[in-house]
Amino acid sequence: MSFVGKVWKILVGIKDGLVLLFMLLFFVALFGILSARPNPGQVRDGALLIDLSGTIVEEKSALDPIEALLSRSAPVGETRARDVVRALDAAATDARIKAVVIDMTTFLGGGQVHLKDVGEAMDRVRKAGKPVLTYGKAYADDHMLIAAHASEVWLDPIGVAVISGPGRMNLYYAGLLEKLSVNARVYRVGEYKAAVEPWSRTSMSDEARANIGGLYGALWEEYKANVTRARPKLQLARITGDPQAWIGSSGGDMAGAALAAGLVDKLGDKARFGARVAELAGKDPWNDKPGSFAASNLGAYLADLGESRAGKKIGVITIAGEIVDGKAGPGVAGGTRIADLLDDALDDDLAALVVRIDSPGGSVNASEEIRRAILRYRDRKIPVAVSMANMAASGGYWVATPAERVFAEPETVTGSIGVFAVIPTFEGTAARLGVSADGYRTTPLSGQPDFIGGFTPAMDTLLQTTITGTYKDFLKLVSKARRIPVERVDAIAQGQVWDGGTARQNGLVDAFGGLPDALAWAAAKAGAKDGEWHAVYLGDRGENYDSLVRQLVTREEAQAPLAGGGDLFAMTALRSENLGARLLRDAERLTGTRGIQAFCIECPAGPAVTGSARPARPEGMLALLTWLAGR
């Protein structure tokens, strides 16, 4: 009995130890969650510090905590554009805020519309008599769209600032596919649908070059006008016209060249920059390290501002990223997820709905699922407006067709009305390897799709007919929505992409304006006066565990590639890292089971999509046929 008693005491001790351990872990986790969440109590007199680490986006991507913890890495940081604008507008009239500091040390960029919105908000802060300062080790095109609006632009003495202008090089795989004897079967409608050219050509077609050249030309003119208006002393023509002579004139001193050309105002390290901010906003009473100053960070400041709940509710549904089938997102526009959000809010007594789009399109089936969900609001006589951000192209325009009024910016990329699909078959590759396919058919479609033996003429005709029919449906949707004859829509469609100004001339857009303009219109349409309504973002979630997980997995070495981008070689290396992801994405587009696509691959590249999701079972005829063949 004494032996049993001793064993029992040991087991009880182990149990008590485990209980204490789990309790300790619980309270540590609870403390971490509470400390990771933005705390309004951290707001104090001084500067508003906005750390633009990563990219500026319309909608932050979902973070998978298990995947992040197992891989010990988190996706690139994201900051919502509307959060930055809201904080800047509040800071303009907040007596606690003496200055605004924007740290761009690890900033990677954003869409032109978002950057313009941030810049205009910075102008409003300066108009209120408060200084706005930026600091960075490297300034490129996107950085300068923001920094140009600052009262003081600081650059590290060993840093670099340069403007290269918009442009994009596509990869073309026709030569590689020919060497591999892979037959990329392209089904398309639209003379300008350049999205399929990487699989069928070795270079850009003249039609695509002319259309995309016009788009980039318009975006470049808007860029130059924005930057030079905000920073008149900037020698933009010198910087972009003859960069070799410009850099050579400074003897290779990139920071000195940037200062001489008016790209930046001051050269100094973080300590000197911080000392300057302390002169304007006050010293940090709890931190005497070089470069410290009194400041409140963006998260705490937004938490302190709170949310307006007065008056009627104007719903905002965000369609950001590639449109895909299923419940993917946020950060990716899963058709089912967005349709569910819209349907769940149908009984929420919304006075109006604003559809905010920042998407190059994607799956036709998912786009149609979203469009039908938006139409259910129109059926209930609820006013619907569309607000286009950086892009609303292809499927992004498909989902805009139910709107009563469409708002866009001059820098918005839209149009790309066209559809396509690419399916690879391997009859040539199989023949080279000594593999052949044979069998018995009862009909021309028996055994199809056959990826080894190839498609029959009947199969090819069926697939192309499906694409043609979908394109006609697209034209009819646009024709009805915009009250334009189908023939006229076809003339401005054909896969052509347009800037916001040209799209307005073509009748695809009603008015220039951002999200605030669309919200104001929708509220007025619903009978609400100024101050008698507030926006409700459908599906908007708080930080949850995002901040805590990022703190756990983000290490100093993980930030090194971003923070170390203070010279041209580091910036070049960062671009080369993106090349691998681009190659993988292109390969997935060719071999993935994606169905009919209304997608603008040729649109200007924005921040990389950090999330993705694939449906367990694809939808649509093309996807279904491919899926069945793989069973």
Residues belonging to the active site = 193, 394
Q: Quote the CA–CA distance of 361 and 399 in Å, as a whole number.
A: 9
Q: Where are the domains of the chain?
A: 43-162+231-304, 312-537
Rounded distance, CA 505 to CA 123, Å?
A: 29
* pLDDT tens figures, 264-281: 999 999 999 999 999 999
394: left (phi over 0), alpha (psi -120 to 50) or beta: left
**495-540, pLDDT tens digit by residue?**
999 999 999 999 999 999 999 999 999 999 999 988 899 999 999 8
Around Cβ 53, how many Cβ atoms within 10 Å? 20
**pLDDT (average), residues 129-158:** 97
Is the predicted pLDDT of residue 579 greater than 90, yes or no? no
- Greatest mean pLDDT among 108-112, 419-423, 564-568: 108-112
> Out of 3.30.1360.120, 1.10.15.40, 3.90.226.10, 3.30.70.260, which CATH number does the structure's domain 312-537 have?
3.90.226.10
Q: Which pLDDT score is estimated for 595?
A: 76
Of 32-36, 242-246, 254-258, 321-325, the poorest mean pLDDT is in: 32-36
pLDDT recorded at residue 2: 66
Cis-peptide, bond into residue 449, ω within 30° of zero: yes
Q: Which two tokens stand for residue 166?
A: 């918009």
- How high is the pLDDT of residue 629? 44
Query: What does the block give as tokens for 253?
Result: 């001193």
- The DSSP-derived string for 351-378 is SEEEEEEEE-EEEHHHHHHHHHHHHHHH
Tell me which of 592 and 322 has the higher pLDDT: 322
- Interior angle at CA 360, CA 357 and CA 365, nearest 5: 85
Residue 298 Cα distances to 33, 52, 123, angstroms: 18, 10, 18
Task: Please tell me the predicted confidence (pLDDT) of residue 124.
Answer: 98
> What is the secondary structure of 33-44 as a DSSP string?
HHHHS--GGG--
Confidence tier at 615 by pLDDT (50, 70, 90): very low
Mean pLDDT of the chain: 85
**pLDDT, position 575:** 59
Residues 416 and 468 sit within 8 Å (Cβ to Cβ): no
Please indicate whether the domains covering 43-162+231-304 and 312-537 agree at the CATH topology level.
yes
Query: What mean pLDDT comes out for the span 387-392?
Result: 97
559 pLDDT band, cuts 50/70/90, is very low
**Which range is least confidently modeled, 243-252, 309-318, 478-487, 609-618?**
609-618
| Amino acid 129: pLDDT | 97
Cα separation, 18 vs 16, in Å, equals: 5
Q: How far apart are the first and last CA of the chain?
A: 63
Give the CA angle between residues 284, 286, 292 to the nearest 5°: 40
**Going by C-beta distance under 8 Å and a sequence separation of 6 or more, which residues neighbour residue 473?**
none
| pLDDT given for residue 27 in this prediction | 54
Share of the chain above pLDDT 70, in %: 82
Identify the sign of the CA torsion 30, 33, 37, 39.
positive
Tens-place pLDDT, residues 343-386: 999 988 999 999 999 999 999 999 999 999 999 999 999 999 99
**At the fourth CATH level, which superfamily is domain 43-162+231-304?**
2-enoyl-CoA Hydratase; Chain A, domain 1 (3.90.226.10)
